[in-house]
Amino acid sequence: MNINKKRVFKNILAYTFIILFLAITLTPYFWLIVTSFKTRMDAFTIPPKLIFTPTFDNYRTAFLDKGFLSNFKNSLIVAIFSTFFSMVVGLPSAYAFSRFPMKGDHFLYFYLLATRFTPVIVLALPLYMIMSKFHLLNTFTGIIIAHTAFNLAFVVWMMKGFFDAVPAEIDDASRVDGCSRLGTFLRMAIPLTINGLAATTIFCAINSWNEFLMALILTGHFTATLPVAIPGLLTPQGTFWGQIAAVGSVITIPVLVLSIVVQKYMIKGMTFGAVKG
């Protein structure tokens, strides 16, 4: 009986602690979302207002009048194409790492890991100069190429893990049935790892969607993604906090929704396979 009581008490303590922790950490973010639905008057009153008439004015002003809708489109274009290309380029390599071990694997693996750890700032200047020589600054092609390359190591490593989980016997059976290596890869391995494929796709898209530094350097007026365009709302005449909050909500809410879908694979993806989630 005593032990039971102690357990209940400890449980209550644990829930209280976690809920308190969540209240403190989530308040700043919650406040950003709430502010996006406030008028200028409501946003700046002290003490802060919790009850107010919600308005979509900030969204309307930012996305329709100030052109953030085209930045939204740019962000989508860059995320979709760079994700698509990093999957197309990276998948065969992931499959080869999983299925055809060779002597040079160790070196290739190290090469991948090195590119994963190369900071964006290290590549920013040379890529900027190279892209300017090829007239790729302020084009979608330039930023899509850069984001594709940044996601590659991630795609290869994630997908290698998923291919590893498919029994090799399935490949053998398909080979016996007269399928070529390429055919086996396309018709057997890929459909069998559809969950992993979806998770990897989502991660790549999030990475590209949230990326700031490279986009800041390589995009220009017509190709600026949402994160690159946001600082434009901090003007010497004043900061449009309501609109910043609106654009911030549009950037973050889709990511949060998608992250719940891929939560299961989060750890594996972020640690390059060092920790199994």
Partner 1 sequence: MRKKISNNELMQKLFHLPTFLVLTAITLFPIIYSIYISFFGYTLSKPGSEKQFVGFQNFINIFSDAGFWNSMLVTVKFVFGVTVVQVVFGLVIALILNSIVKGKKILTSLVMVPMMVAPLIVGLMYSFILNPQFGLYTFFIDYFNLPLTISPLSSATSALIVMMITDIWEWTPFMVLMILAALQSVPVSPYEAAMIDGATEFQTLRYITLPLIKPVILVATILRAMEAFKEFDKPYILTGGGPGAATEVIDMFTYREAFINFNFSYAAALSLVLFILLLAGGILYGRLIMEQEK
259 binds partner 1 (CB under 8 A): yes
110 binds partner 1 (CB under 8 A): yes
CB of 53 to partner 1, least distance (A): 19
134 binds partner 1 (CB under 8 A): no
**Binding test (CB under 8 A) with partner 1, winner from 119, 191, 236, 238:** 119
The rounded distance, in Å, linking the Cα atoms of 41 and 254 is 28
Stretch that binds partner 1, among 59-67, 128-136, 168-176, 191-199 (CB under 8 A): 128-136
Residues 196-235 that bind partner 1 (CB under 8 A): 206, 209-210, 212-213, 217, 227, 230-231, 234
The rounded distance, in Å, linking the Cα atoms of 265 and 261 is 9
CB of 60 to partner 1, least distance (A): 20
Cross-strand pairs, 235: 238
**Binding test (CB under 8 A) with partner 1, winner from 69, 129, 168, 198:** 129
Question: CB-based contacts of 68: which residues, under 8 Å, 6+ apart?
Answer: 62, 226, 229, 247, 250
Residues 161-180 that bind partner 1 (CB under 8 A): none
The answer to whether the beta carbons of residues 163 and 94 sit under 8 Å apart is yes
Quick one: CA torsion of 113, 227, 259, 89, rounded to 10 degrees? -40
**Binding test (CB under 8 A) with partner 1, winner from 79, 96, 205, 218:** 96
Residues 8-27 that bind partner 1 (CB under 8 A): 10-11, 14-15, 17-18, 21-22, 25-27
**Binding test (CB under 8 A) with partner 1, winner from 8, 69, 125, 194:** 125
The answer to whether the beta carbons of residues 212 and 231 sit under 8 Å apart is no
CB of 258 to partner 1, least distance (A): 8
Q: Which amino acid is residue 261, in one-letter code?
A: V
148 binds partner 1 (CB under 8 A): yes
The rounded distance, in Å, linking the Cα atoms of 93 and 84 is 15
140 binds partner 1 (CB under 8 A): no
Report the candidate in 117, 267, 262 with the shortest Cα–Cα distance to residue 201.
262
**What is the CA 247 to chain-centroid distance, rounded?**
17
CB of 22 to partner 1, least distance (A): 5
Task: Kindly state the tokens that stand for 42.
Answer: 């409501």
* Contact flags string 32-71 toward partner 1, x per CB under 8 A: x--x-------xxxxxx-----------------------
